[in-house]
Structure 1
Amino acid sequence: EKFSFCPPQVIAGGGADVVVDWMPSALATREKGVPLVNIAQPFKKSGMMLTCRKDTNITKPEDFRGRTLGVWFGGNEYPFLSWMSHLKIPTEGGKDGVTVLKQGFNVDPLIQKQADCISTMTYNEYWQVIDAGIPADQLVVFPYEEQGVATLEDGLYVLEKSLDDPAMVDKLARFVRASMKGWKYASENPGEAADIVLDNDASGAQTKEVQERMVKEIGKLVDGSDGTLDVAAADRTVETLLGGGSDPVITKKPEGAWTAKITDAMKK
């Protein structure tokens, strides 16, 4: 897992009022019985892509056949699996299929040539590849948005019971409004935002250059959003997940998995 804890588990156990999660994970959690509801969607677009070494001669998705592709799991594999399903490319290996390498949250498989392509985010791992010494002109990228298989990423989720409490609804509306105001400010002032991250980095591992670049890239995904969920994008996410081959992340269309109650209250 990316972290030592899982946001849906934390909120189900009462450890948080709000969690950030990707919609595929949240919908899978909801289907398993934890009543998560999306109250706001800061990221309007997906930042996920498959990044390949140019020297593999991969130029289009059809070229993935017979190759090894690095894929994140823990819920993040489903957009990939439904993309391959859409292309009718098996994911069990062989010359006509792809071999899936279970990828950690680093770029080593591409650097060490264990994989022809790996999963990257536009704001993070893609730049790690470049920082590791492979220039952009030696890479070929396949953004999920451009392939028509993007699913919604960072959204804010609460348990259903929070929406029944008027005081909590008011608090959540103020929280979302303030959060989106913060994202807007960070996008407009990336240097200052990076400094704030560095001031709170106990590890000392972060650099201003990396953090500022990340803020600028994430600004493209937030893209002026006030946090209101685009229902059409949510419906597309559901369709993508339902089309995920023989083992879809969800088995039926969810009911009540998102609400405009908080973003509507925020605008009053």
Structure 2
Amino acid sequence: DIAPTSVLAGGGADVVLDWMPSALASREKGLPLVNIAQPFKSSGMMLTCRKDAGISSPEDFPGKTLGVWFFGNEYPFLSWMSHLGLSTDGGDDGVTVLKQGFNVDPLLQNQAACVSTMTYNEYWQVIDAGLTPEELVVFKYEDQGVATLEDGIYVLEDKLEDPEFVDKMVRFVRASMKGWKWAEENPDEAAMIVLDNDNTGAQTEEHQKRMMAEVAKLTAGSNGALDPADFERTVESLLAGGSDPVITQHPGEAAWTHMITDKALN
């Protein structure tokens, strides 16, 4: 339960994987994060709701309890609620936010009308727990017009002045993207690598193969280089958050660079 940005700020890592809303919010607060690569092209985030809780569209959200992840993952949700004009501090006119662990228990136990899920993971936990797709209604952030960039690779700005560090990142990004593209083409083999390295025994072959098949849809279309148009779309979505936007000003082009991917991918 630690935000990647906190680890980077504390010197516990040279590089982190984070979602862009979290990274840009941290940058605005003074942590000079820079996106050096963007493996995920599209968003896998969604809100999965029980129909029997009276949810059929976002218009049904007021007065309901919605499960939300924190540690940086709350920003896309808060931006969406702001777009809808809904407060997130309860009441009949707003929504009550339930701080959700990285599981779907609140939905299964009727503690929340909806929970945050990813297309590749938690949605399938709901299905595996016994609820059917017919009993659920799903709101994909992509479909709601509030999708923001997810898994990207970030470093601190001043590190990019060190040629040795830059060389290390070039090799890291090259290897990462080579791995992702191999995994897209060989999803079953990629799933088995995860299982072979799962010391807990908690993972199943079916779930990992399903996860890889869904993640492949999100990495498809990205060679690892950030598309500036996707960056602008994310920034616009975050800035347009009504009275309570996730960021209050455009972060500028210093928030991302192609210096690593230009060397890594060409």
- Structure 1 counterpart of 2:224, which letter? G
Shift of 1:207: 1.0
Asked whether the 8 Å contact 1:41–1:228 carries over to 2, the reply is yes
SS in 2 for 1:145: coil
Distance (Å, rounded) in 2 between the aligned partners of 1:34 and 1:65: 35
Shift of 1:206: 1.0
Q: TM-score, normalised by structure 2?
A: 0.93
Q: Which residue of the partner structure matches residue 58 of structure 2?
A: 61
1:257 maps onto 2:252 in alignment: no
Distance (Å, rounded) in 2 between the aligned partners of 1:89 and 1:33: 28
Asked whether the 8 Å contact 1:51–1:118 carries over to 2, the reply is yes
Asked whether the 8 Å contact 2:79–2:246 carries over to 1, the reply is no
Distance (Å, rounded) in 1 between the aligned partners of 2:265 and 2:187: 26
Residue of structure 1 aligned with 2:210, choices 208, 213, 219: 213
Distance 1:35 1:128, change over 3 A: same
SS in 2 for 1:147: coil
Shift of 1:78: 2.2
Asked whether the 8 Å contact 1:78–1:244 carries over to 2, the reply is no
RMSD of aligned residue pairs (Cα, Å): 1.7
- Structure 1 counterpart of 2:158, which letter? K
Q: Which residue of the partner structure matches residue 121 of structure 1?
A: 118
Distance 1:34 1:97, change over 3 A: closer
After TM superposition, list the pairs within 5 Å mapping 1:33-182 onto structure 2. 33-182=30-179
Shift of 1:73: 2.1
SS in 1 for 2:193: helix
Shift of 1:30: 1.7
Distance (Å, rounded) in 2 between the aligned partners of 1:101 and 1:9: 23
Q: Which residue of the partner structure matches residue 24 of structure 1?
A: 21
Shift of 1:63: 1.6
SS in 1 for 2:93: coil
SS in 1 for 2:48: strand
- Structure 2 counterpart of 1:259, which letter? T
Equivalent residues, number: 265
Shift of 1:245: 4.3
Residue of structure 2 aligned with 1:200, choices 189, 197, 200: 197
Asked whether the 8 Å contact 1:78–1:248 carries over to 2, the reply is no
Shift of 1:223: 0.8
Shift of 1:34: 2.0
- Structure 2 counterpart of 1:25, which letter? S
Deviations 1:176-206 (A, max 9, x none): 1221111111121122111111111111111
SS in 1 for 2:143: helix
Distance (Å, rounded) in 2 between the aligned partners of 1:189 and 1:232: 29
Gaps of 5+ in 1: none
- Structure 2 counterpart of 1:263, which letter? T
Deviations 1:25-71 (A, max 9, x none): 11122222222100000011111101011223422111212222111
- Poorly superposed stretches of 4+, deviation over 4 Å: none
| Identity rate, percent | 72
Asked whether the 8 Å contact 1:106–1:125 carries over to 2, the reply is yes
When structure 1 is superposed on structure 2, of 11-20 and 207-216 the one drifting more is: 11-20
Distance (Å, rounded) in 1 between the aligned partners of 2:211 and 2:57: 27
Gaps of 5+ in 2: none
Distance (Å, rounded) in 1 between the aligned partners of 2:15 and 2:90: 40
Distance 1:244 1:78, change over 3 A: farther
Q: TM-score, normalised by structure 1?
A: 0.92
SS in 2 for 1:157: strand
